[in-house]
């Protein structure tokens, strides 16, 4: 019951309140008048029963009996009470109506103020209000409206400033974007020209290198080998390795490299024979450990050559003078491992040596691209790389997935 009454009161309006007030006043007036009439009626019954009625100042007519006198007085009293109640109700109703109208007028002024506040600021005229409480509320509302108007004007000025700044920034960014696009176009042109130059240089380099190698072989067959010829041959083989790296870099995004079955043990042994003269020229020797059984892998031969040659040339480059470079191939049921081990300086940051252009020893010849190329090939074909480097010994391991010895293309 209490919750229902609270919900009802929370939804009541001024018009409803005015209506309920009038009903209450009417009900209260009727109750009072009824009580007075009832009390007078009890006196009438009492007088009628005793048969005695004294009327002062009222002459008795011949048509009235003593029994009619109480009735006449009762009617007169009832009429007086009803008239008085009606006058009282009209008086109270009028006052209530005037007060309610005054309150409603002030409230309408506030409602109009708040409805128009979102579009424009129109202050409340305090002198138009009747009640002091509403005048105080109007003062607070006007102060709030002035503050909101000031903030609105400040925001409008800020928005204008921001729009201008955004416009200027947009123009500046557009100019930068145009300049950047022009630079990118120029850079793409340079890059394409660079690639074309490398392609041309590689194409033109292959023929003289082949001629040099052929003539070295012919000279060795006719005149015998000597240390000067060995140095030339070692240098040419190094150039061949660099040539093969550049050739792969230029072509790797343009052609496919199909896989085939390769005996990893035999292939590593052939590459060791190719670089044997280069190692000998650097006062180094290879010691090769063959696998216990056939080590077949499914791999592309060009990619495999890049992995093996770069590791062998790096071992020749960084191994201490007069030392032995140990190379081996091992197999289990899941994978075949190619490893290179040598006595060299410790690698302090193994995680960085596969980054392009990174070199721990700046004085060493080269551009730092070989191992970056090896890493990209291994990532493409799922080859796992392990590196261990201590103060005197460095070891690289490459784990290839084992194949079945049958040629397939992919």
Looking at residue 42, its pLDDT comes to: 74
Q: What is the CATH number of the domain that holds 386?
A: 3.30.565.10
In a domain, 157, yes or no: no
Is 339 among the domain residues?
yes
Cα 40 to chain centroid, rounded? 88
Residue 296 backbone phi and psi in degrees, to 5: -90, 135
Burial of 84 (0-12, 13-18, 19+ CB in 10 A): middle
Which has the higher per-residue pLDDT, 226 or 340? Answer: 340
The residue with greater pLDDT, 282 or 28, is 282
Question: Of 120, 137, 163, at which residue does a domain stop?
Answer: 120
Residue 46 lies in a domain: yes
Q: Are 378 and 397 in contact (CB under 8 A)?
A: no
**Does 176 map to a domain?**
no
Looking at 120, 145, 169, which one is the last position of a domain?
120
Contact of 305 with 247, CB cutoff 8 Å: no
The region that residue 135 occupies, defined by phi over 0 for left and psi between -120 and 50 for alpha, beta otherwise, is alpha
Cα gap 314→316, rounded to integer Å: 5
CA distance 98 to 86: 18
Q: What is the C-alpha separation between 277 and 85, in angstroms, rounded?
A: 135
In which band, very low, low, confident or very high, does the pLDDT at 62 lie, cut at 50, 70 and 90?
A: very low
Asked if the model's pLDDT at residue 79 lies above 50, the reply is yes
The end-to-end CA distance of the chain, in Å, is 84
Name the percent of the chain lying above pLDDT 90: 15
Nearest to 301 by CA among 196, 403, 199, 369: 403
For residue 30, what are the domain limits? Answer: 2-54+63-120
What phi and psi, each to the nearest 5 degrees, are found at residue 82?
-65, -45
Residue 2 has pLDDT above 60, yes or no: no
Placement of tokens 């004007």 in the chain: 153
Token pair in block for residue 308 = 């093996």
* 133 domain residue, yes or no: no
Give the integer Cα–Cα distance in Å for 370 and 353: 10
Is this structure's pTM higher than 0.85? no
Q: Give the CA dihedral 155, 157, 158, 161, nearest 10 degrees.
A: 160
Task: Return all residues near 22 (Cβ < 8 A) that are at least 6 apart.
Answer: 93, 96
Q: Which distant-in-sequence residues (6+ apart) come within 8 Å of 289 by Cβ?
A: 326, 327, 328, 329, 330
In percent, the amount of the chain with pLDDT more than 70 equals 76
Identify whether 246 is part of a domain. no
What are the φ and ψ backbone dihedral angles of 112, each rounded to 5 degrees? -65, -35
Q: Domains in the chain: how many in total?
A: 2
State the DSSP code for 356: T
The answer to the question of residue 213 being in a domain is no
Q: Is residue 98 part of a domain?
A: yes
pLDDT digits 0-9 by tens, 39-53: 777 776 776 666 544
Alpha helices in 282-300 (DSSP H): none
β-pair type (384-389, 394-401):
antiparallel
Tokens of 348: 């302090």
Length of the chain: 410
User: Where do we find the tokens 């082949």?
Assistant: 210
Residue 268 has pLDDT above 70, yes or no: yes
Of 73, 105, 120, the last residue of a domain is 120
């Amino acid at each position: 019951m209490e919750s229902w009454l609270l919900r009802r009161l929370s939804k009541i309006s001024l018009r409803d309140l005015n209506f309920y007030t009038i009903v209450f006043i009417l009900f209260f007036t009727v109750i009072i008048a009824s009580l007075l009439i009832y009390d007078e009626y009890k006196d009438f019954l009492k007088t009628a029963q005793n048969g005695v009625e004294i009327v002062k100042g009222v002459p008795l007519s011949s048509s009235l009996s003593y029994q009619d006198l109480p009735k006449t007085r009762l009617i007169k009293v009832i009429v007086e009470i009803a008239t008085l109640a009606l006058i009282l109700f009209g008086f109270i109703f009028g006052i209530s109506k005037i007060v309610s109208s005054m309150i409603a007028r002030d409230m309408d002024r506030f409602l109009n103020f708040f409805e128009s506040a979102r579009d424009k600021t129109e202050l409340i005229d305090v002198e138009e209000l009747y009640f002091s409480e509403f005048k105080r509320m109007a003062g607070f509302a006007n102060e709030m409206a002035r503050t909101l108007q000031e903030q609105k004007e400040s925001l409008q000025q800020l928005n204008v400033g921001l729009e201008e700044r955004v416009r200027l920034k947009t123009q500046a960014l557009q100019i930068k974007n145009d300049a950047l696009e022009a630079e990118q176009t120029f850079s793409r042109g340079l890059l394409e020209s660079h690639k074309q130059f490398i392609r041309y240089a590689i194409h033109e380099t292959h023929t003289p290198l082949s001629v040099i190698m052929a003539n070295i072989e012919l000279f060795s067959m006719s005149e015998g080998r000597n240390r000067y010829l060995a140095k030339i041959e070692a240098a040419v083989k190094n150039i061949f390795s660099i040539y093969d790296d550049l050739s792969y870099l230029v072509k790797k995004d343009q052609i496919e490299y199909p896989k085939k079955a390769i005996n990893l043990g035999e292939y590593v042994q052939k590459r060791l024979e190719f670089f044997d003269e280069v190692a000998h020229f650097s006062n180094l020797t290879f010691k090769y450990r063959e696998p216990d059984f056939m080590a077949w892998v499914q791999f592309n031969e060009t990619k495999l050559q890049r992995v093996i040659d770069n590791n062998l040339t790096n071992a020749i480059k960084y191994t201490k003078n007069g030392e032995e470079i140990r190379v081996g191939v091992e197999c289990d049921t899941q994978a075949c491992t190619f490893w290179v081990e040598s006595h060299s300086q410790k690698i302090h940051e193994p995680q960085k040596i596969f980054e392009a252009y990174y070199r721990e020893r700046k004085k060493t010849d080269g551009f730092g691209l070989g191992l970056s190329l090896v890493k990209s090939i291994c990532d493409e074909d799922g080859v796992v790389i392990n590196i261990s480097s201590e103060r005197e010994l460095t070891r690289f391991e490459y784990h290839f997935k084992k194949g079945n010895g049958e040629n397939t293309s992919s």
